[in-house]
Structure 1
Amino acid sequence: MNASLNEIESLCKKAARGAGLSWGLAEEAGKAARWLSAHGLNGPALLAAQLQRDDGCAYPQLVPQVGAQAWQVPGQVMCPLIAGVTLSDHAYLLRSSGQIQLMHVAHPQLLMPFVSATARQLNLGLLLSWEGCRLVFSPDGGTFLKQPEGFADACAAQVSCTCITTAIDTASPLAGTIPDLPEAIQTYLDHLAARTYVPASEASRLLGAGSGLSDNN
């Protein structure tokens, strides 16, 4: 299916909400899927894979512990959506420490929209890297893939976001046309989105059975 960026964002936002994310996080999920799609990547498929992984997990289980050492979620693989929002909220730590490390991150590509926004917010160059992959973000949010071997990994043992003080080579920006939305992905996202249309009492039962993510965040 050919889908516009607006359609992708709307569908993914509703699907994320249906999966149990708060409306605020669901909006960020929709924007992330839109950003990825605008850069030639299959944002809806990445989001669908992450929502399927997190379905049934309570929100406190997924929030990274923020500190001077590497961020982690004890006993869980880190959700890149929640980690990305947390990174944006704690962007000031990059100015003071120069680097933030995240441990055991699922679908690290989903961090990219948040790192791009953080680079603009701080007006700094940033390097996002994990084994086999290096991505550079310019102060205006431009994205450049420098090492692609591990780019499509479904999980990364360690992800680093590092301030860059040297000049940024902007020769090969990450770009592409909007990919088609696979039928299977659309069906799954529509299924999640449909949870938001159920009457409130039934919705509460569905969310209690299918996802423990809190709306109080």
Structure 2
Amino acid sequence: MSHSLNEIEAMSKRAARGAGLSWGLAEEAAKGTRWLSAFGFPGTDLLADLLEMNDRIPPIDVSPVSLRAPVWHAPARRMSPLIAGASLSDCAMRLMERGTIAMENICFPLLAVPFMGGAAQRLGHPVAAEWAGARLATDGRQLCVQGDTTVLRARMADQMVFTAPARMTGRREPVLRADVSAESWQRLSTFAHRTFAPATDDSRLRGAGAGLSDND
């Protein structure tokens, strides 16, 4: 199915919120999913996979223990790319000062890549990420992909290394619509439905066409 990027972002935001993410992180997850979809990646598939993997898990368990450590890791021995990515964007200046930031056992590493764009725009320099033979770089507007593209949909990266400043070669241009699998759309819809308030007697009475009296 073909969906506009606005539709993808809206669905992703509701799904992320339904999975228990804060509104702020749900918004970031939605923007990231839209960004990946614009560059031809299966953003909705990856987001649905992540939400199912971390469903009902406290965010603290999949968050970096310390942002000052040379290598970031999480208590659950797997790190959320959304939380880690948002932290990376916040630590953009630290990345520039150090030159690299490494993360261990990061789930669906491609989902962390959009956050590099925010870091790049803050720094005014491109940021790159490498894992398992793949390298992606972005200045926040364009994306460059090099190396082994078969690992881009990996469920886990043993180590993901971010560097700045980075070189941009082999650029991709974004699009305005993206193909989305019906399966991933349904999986996101399942999470999105959790945000709907359950029906009550009062809400049924207030609903269209509802009521106990007939005034005709």
Taking structure 1 as the reference length, the TM-score comes to 0.84
Contact 2:90–2:119 at 8 Å: present in 1 too? no
Identity %: 38
Secondary structure of 2:178's aligned partner? coil
For 1:131-146, list aligned pairs within 5 A.
Answer: 131-138=132-139, 141-146=141-146
State how many pairs are aligned. 197
Query: Which residue identity does 1:198 align to in structure 2?
Result: A
Tell me the equivalent position of 1:76.
77
For 1:14-25, list aligned pairs within 5 A.
Answer: 14-25=14-25
Alpha carbon RMSD of aligned pairs, Å?
1.9
For 1:54-69, list aligned pairs within 5 A.
Answer: 54-65=54-65, 66-69=67-70
Query: Which residue identity does 1:9 align to in structure 2?
Result: E
Higher relative contact order (CA 8 A, sep 6+): 1
Unaligned runs of 5+ in 1: 202-217
CA distance in 2, matches of 1:151, 1:184: 20
> Bigger CA drift: 143-152 or 13-22?
143-152
CA distance in 2, matches of 1:200, 1:84: 37
Secondary structure of 2:72's aligned partner? coil
Tell me the equivalent position of 2:117.
116
CA distance in 2, matches of 1:174, 1:27: 24
Contact 1:40–1:175 at 8 Å: present in 2 too? no
Q: Kindly provide the CA deviation profile for residues 28-79 of structure 1, in whole angstroms up to 9, marking residues without a partner as x.
A: 1110111011111111111101111110100111211212320000233111
Secondary structure of 1:157's aligned partner? strand
Taking structure 2 as the reference length, the TM-score comes to 0.85
Name the larger-Rg structure.
2
Deviation at 1:176, TM superposition (A): 6.0
Unaligned runs of 5+ in 2: 201-216
Contact 2:96–2:165 at 8 Å: present in 1 too? no
CA distance in 1, matches of 2:10, 2:159: 31
Tell me the equivalent position of 2:158.
157
